[in-house]
Structure 1
Amino acid sequence: MAALLEQDARYSYYGRTVGLVGPEDGDIDQLATLAMVQGNTNYGAVPSSQVDAVKAGMQARGLVPMRYDKWEGTGSAIVAAQDVISTTSLPEDLTLVRLEASTPDQLMVSMAQMALDCGVLPLCGEVLRGLYRPAVCLVAIDRAANVVACAASCAFAHPEHAGYGKQAWWGMLATHPDRRGHRLSLILGSHVLLEMENCFGFRAFMTGVEPGNAPSESICARIGLSRGAFAIIACTDPQALAGGRMTK
């Protein structure tokens, strides 16, 4: 799907499913078709005033909507990430590793299993390795080469999209339960932001947070993102994904 539609600026892709950037890029029927083909899709930027109508339109077509607050940051996120890195470091027994083409399969498996155990769906492997589009995935590994935390960022919209072509998605934050409390998501998330700027020039970032998810909101605020006037509305075909959601 991503390969077929990648030249059309209306569509978004960050390593999970193809979506429409916003309602102005395609109507509910187009979005419903994407959901039925893939099982899940999303609008990446829905004005708050349109959220209820969009959700109602999805439900009328037999889809299960899921709203996420859209948190965004520009230069403030870069400054905040630099502050985190300058004042906080990984525990001595952990090593920071960037996934790439040469990353061993066993490390990819360790990352995927850890993230899934935390309820976080990893992005497509080609995206995580930086082989498909601008993207960075960092993992923290212990002395036994087990992945204990991860974070990622990826270009979201087509680079020529008028509103969001220069904004990257950021997230996939997951930490093994035994290593929580060491601010690993904050540290890895900060490194990912800076790598996306250094390697690809991105200075604008966004992510989706389910309303009321206080830990995620806290990390977003600490890293210079703020909740704005837009929402990300995902929708699921319940015949494909009975649980109604794809990831945390």
Structure 2
Amino acid sequence: MNEVFGSPDQKRMQIKGEHLARLLSNDPRYCSHGRGVQVIDYGPQTADLVESLVRLIGASGCEMVPKDISEDFRRELEDRGLRTDVVGHFIGDLNAIDMARTALATRPLPEDLSVSIIDSQSSGELVQAFAEVSMPHGVLPPIGPVMRGISRPGFGMVAMDSNGRPVATAGAVKSRHPDHPMADMVQWGQLATVPDRQGQGVARALGALAILEAASRLGARRFRTGINPSNTASARLCTSLGVRDSDYVIVAALDPDSFSDDRLTK
């Protein structure tokens, strides 16, 4: 697994998480977006499950924690010696597909940009280009087998300018077990744009393209992403594409003894 990115702690978490995800692939309680393993739904044993995952790989969390109990759940995890973070859970449905089409019709990707999709046949240079754009913006790329759609259905997208310079990224991964009630939901996002191309609608257009690609390639009918409360620009962008704040939050947990980074991704 050479295509793994981030700090040493993040790399260890991704590699361990990818191996663990294979072992848990038949259990619909879990999912993985290529950045560890998470519990999907909150329930009576969720704290035990999350703590076990954190002790194994350094970081984990629960994706669907109702907002009204999130602080209690967070305190329960912290009482177990874990460090926590709460992230907004934005969700879109079929309406997001229509809004993506409308967004591209009204403001398409700038004409000097072309889009390459990362798959199993893509060069290592293209995967590296994704990381070079996304990581300075705090967006941790999925591990290579996930970004390439090898270990589970997914893809990355890189927008290049006329000189072949990578300027923006997006992607999606279908991470839930087919038996899960929300099996048609994908982790969507990974949006990042180099500073000199910001303010030109590049991220919104590429995000819209990723929604349509996920609908076509992965059969996605629902779209989710996590956004930190301070990241108001991302919240506005996602909302404009029909991926909106929900009644849930993501509660992430880190092992302070094995994971020194403040958070996994922005």
Tell me the TM-score normalised to structure 2 length: 0.89
After superposing on structure 2, the runs of 4+ consecutive aligned residues of structure 1 that deviate more than 4 Å are none
Q: Distance in 1 between matches of 2:143 and 2:170?
A: 14
- 8 A contact 2:39–2:46 mirrored in 1: no
- Alignment correspondent of 1:201: 219
Match of 2:142 in 1: 123
Conserved in 2, the CA contact under 8 Å of 1:107 and 1:145? Answer: no
Residue type at the aligned position of 2:159: A
Q: 2:245 aligns with which of 215, 224, 227?
A: 227
CA contact (8 A) 1:96 1:138 kept: yes
Match of 1:192 in 2: 210
Q: Calculate the aligned-residue CA RMSD, in Å.
A: 1.4
Gaps of 5+ in 2: 1-19
Query: What is the CA-CA distance between 1:25 and the residue it aligns to?
Result: 7.7
1:79 equivalent in alignment to 2:98: yes
State the match for 1:245 in structure 2: 263
Equivalent residue, structure 2, for 1:167? 185
Task: Check conservation: 2:33, 2:142, Cα contact below 8 A.
Answer: yes
> Is residue 39–residue 240 contact of structure 1 (8 Å, CA) maintained in 2?
yes
Q: Which residues in structure 2 correspond to 1:34-183 (within 5 Å)?
A: 34-162=53-181, 164-183=182-201
Corresponding letter in the other structure for 2:92:
G
Residue in 1 aligned with 2:231? 213
For 1:5, give the aligned amino acid: L
Distance 1:219 1:230 in 2: 19
Q: Indicate the SS of the match to 1:152.
A: strand
> Could you tell me how far apart the structure 2 residues matched to 1:123 and 1:25 are?
29
SS in 2 for 1:21: strand
Aligned residue for 2:11? none
One-letter amino acid matched to 1:86? A
2:50 maps to a residue whose letter is L
1:41–1:235 Cα contact (<8 Å) kept: yes
Q: Identical aligned pairs, as a percentage?
A: 32
Residues 114 and 4 from structure 1, CA distance in 2 versus in 1: closer, same or farther, beyond 3 angstroms? same
